[in-house]
Amino acid sequence: MIELFLLLVAAHFVADYPMQGEFLALAKNRLSPNPCWPWYQALGAHAAIHGGFVGVVTGMWWLGVAEFLAHAAIDDAKCMKRISFNQDQALHIVCKVLWCVIAFGVSK
């Protein structure tokens, strides 16, 4: 389970930093929208990257869908200033723990 958790965390950091880039980081925020790209498309694209990683790493497409939904909700809450950056990152890590518990529960 530790190996799966570490892979999910590593994938999270790859998707949240180098793969997100400045464009998605700014465009996904509904409070400062990009006039060339709707905020919900940018947020959806970013969440889909995360969901794809979770689905591939766990081998469970439906956990990828769960990650997509959770990541979009958490990031939107951060962009709307309902939670801080540190709370955002902590919630993402909590999701990874949950995906590990679910994946191991299903595989038994």
pLDDT tens digit sequence for 93-104:
999 999 999 998
* Phi, psi angle pair for 34, to nearest 5°: -90, 125
Report pLDDT digits (tens) over 14-31: 999 999 988 899 999 999
* Phi, psi angle pair for 37, to nearest 5°: -150, 125
Place of tokens 């006039």: 35
pLDDT band at 92 (very low <50, low <70, confident <90, very high): very high
Report pLDDT digits (tens) over 43-71: 999 999 999 999 999 999 999 999 999 99
